[in-house]
Structure 1
């Protein structure tokens, strides 16, 4: 792709109201909002549709989102399942993982089984968005989590049957099929853009990459083939990659034909210490059971070595990708104990977390400007905390949300979440004041329009002259 970014956009100091108009160096289609305030509905919007679940009534969920100031939802559109799997989806059975496994884990805490007509549900989503004046970002979580909530394993098996080198191309074609359907139904104007997949460096899309001489370039090549497959059929619809974190040590891997750059600035910091010290993403043999009992877990928690989902659902552990020890601690922790653990240590990591947030967003904006494409912060900010903890929903996390949204505004990002946890399936949905404050900042460009504010793409940032 030819670099169309002008020197003035990419490198000069931008002050005042100019910043809100830059959008990382590229305009967006005129029919779309010029700023996206995004709520992350992921796969929950079709998995959690049973009685009393947060997406039982889509119209109610959309109406609440509008009340809180959102104008965009980001979802798994299940494109592979609908258009490339060959599976009959007219009565797709979904529900929780058996045995209560992951029942206290964010995004995994499905309570009720449900049956949906998947195609009809997708069209209902887009029609609901249209009625409420919202736009939809279509992505896929299918090589990460989505199939883990199906009652049968056919969806997971069909995904695994695709050659790893071809998976992103198949997803690009599936997304093109989705747009075909939306155009046939007169709903394509509701679509903001498409991502071939969520967090392309995390999950089963990376199968086969570790043994390759330069996996960063190989993943870039796979992404470029997927984007090309989509754009050959729908050149009028924006398509771009989505990354876990900000790949600051692998920016050469950004696809050169991308039309949007999506990143997830999860800063972790003190949460990273928890993950490391308790081997939450390591081998089960390294898990410090005695220390976890003393510092994190509820009385009566089973032993990690003896705890697992039912044998006939063992495949769901592979389909869900989250590590066994991490799910165990999230399921069996005392939430207040985990919050205390994080608060007790936060002070030592506060400045580093704030700096990472600022720098990562700045680096992402700089590379979006280099490519001449809009930037979207599709997830963030602290990281993957247990469902019932309130570290991210409390005063520390809330201020990180405000800081992140201010940074997003300052670099002219096209869109941003308030927080990954600001969605109907999470407790932060009840914090009306925080969400309204942040969505207003995103949509109105408060920071960018402050006369005394200035910033550079990468480097020192001054806030109101401070």
Structure 2
């Protein structure tokens, strides 16, 4: 089994590159130059990235990806929304681009956690709906198994290219209980969905393990499902969780109805968050004929609208004005979640990884996570991750090349030093690298 996962010599700093490493490769975009992105990550203290490896697209869809078109959702829709602000239409050879990512990871001595966001939002950035349609043509009962075969094919390709040693961990899918993997279960969300999904996920894990018995495999969960930790698949090689604590951010979401039915969105009250020139919600959507894009993503129309049209300072002021009522509870929730996750991982004898976190989903130009409270929560989270013996953690989800927080080098290096006890790897501290820290 991959020694980086099973015998780490120190905690690992994880950077969330998600699907953006292939959706934003155009001129001036953060992943136009993969070597530059990796070099910047190393400068900030990261030694691991976590990506959507588009496994179904490459190995399960039957689509010719040798000249695969990607681009924005259309017009200005989503251009001020984190992860959705794709600027250029691009065409990539998707398989070659994946191999090149792993080659660049090898050059920069970085491990890769391969996941999939395909049943959440990756296909919404494709030029045409075929990827989305192929995903949803798979019977929900079979989706985890199909993903497992696709990931296994990916591992085969990497082995053929001499790059398999860079694959640290395979996650069948991102946040399995939040998205289209739960179709047909009738379980709603939360812990009920976690429990209901387990048989499907166990079949997928078993399929991957039959093909690659020596490679670690898992799934990951949105939040920390504290009420269902005993119901997770039995044969996980790592516990990967996303401790977003929300708190005051949840109050904002609930107050304005950002994630409920669109008819519950309080557009009149939302004016206190919006720019004066904001159109009405009904006037804000993808271009005609592109409606499939809003079905290919799990993000609500109201939330996209407010993120696109909010005044970021007004958004941040709303949160800070109410923070005192939530501050202690947010820290308490994070403590409860991390303790519970660490205990569950230890009970199974597997590593704990904080793959995303810590406040929640904020507009692209909001600074609540970067400034004051949010930055200190990042420091606290990685401090707790180190105390609890986590294998690795993110600084936070917004600390990546495609977010403004990337410019805060000092915070990211500080968090990396907190997590690793000051023992940043040689290639980060400036010393020469004589060999790989990842062995097959």
TM-score calculated relative to the size of structure 1:
0.88
Judge conservation of contact 2:24–2:30 (CA < 8 Å) in 1: yes
Residue in 1 aligned with 2:433? none
- 1:301-334 deviations in Å (ceiling 9; x for gaps): 1111232211211011011110010000000000
Unaligned runs of 5+ in 2: 424-440
Contact 1:38 1:71 in 2 (8 A): yes
Partner of 2:384: 407
Indicate conservation of the 8 Å contact 1:41/1:423, yes or no: yes
| Alignment of 1:230 onto 2:218 | no
Number of equivalent positions: 420
Structure 1 residues 1-54: Cα deviation after superposition (integer angstroms, max 9, x where no partner): xxxxxxxxxxxxxxxxxxxxxxxxxx8656866422001000000000000000
2:51 alignment partner, SS class: strand
Q: Contact 1:217 / 1:252 at 8 angstroms: preserved in 2? A: no
**Alignment check: 8 A CA contact 2:194 2:225 kept:** no
Q: Quote the offset at 1:232 in angstroms.
A: 0.7
Question: Are 2:58 and 1:58 aligned?
Answer: no
Q: What is the aligned counterpart of 1:210 among 186, 200, 213?
A: 186
- 1:11-410 alignment runs, 5 A limit: 29=5, 34-210=10-186, 215-293=193-271, 295-410=272-387
Partner SS for 2:162: coil
Determine the structure 2 residue equivalent to 1:23.
none
User: SS at the partner of 1:435?
Assistant: helix
Q: Is the 8 A contact 2:8 2:391 kept in 1?
A: no
User: Deviation string for 1:151-186 (max 9, x for gaps)?
Assistant: 000000000000001001110111111100011111
Q: Supply the distance in 2 between the matched residues of 1:289 and 1:30 (Cα, whole angstroms).
A: 50
1:409/1:445 contact within 8 Å kept: no
Give 2:431's aligned residue: none
Q: State how far apart, in whole Å, the 2-side matches of 1:128 and 1:72 are.
A: 12
| CA positional deviation for 1:371 | 1.2
- TM-score (normalizing by structure 2): 0.93
Residue equivalent to 2:397: 420
Distance 1:128 1:313, change over 3 A: same
Query: Over the residues paired in the alignment, what is the CA RMSD in angstroms?
Result: 1.7
Q: Say which is worse superposed, 226-235 or 306-315, in terms of deviation.
A: 306-315
Q: Matched residues in 1 for 2:261 and 2:155: separation?
A: 42
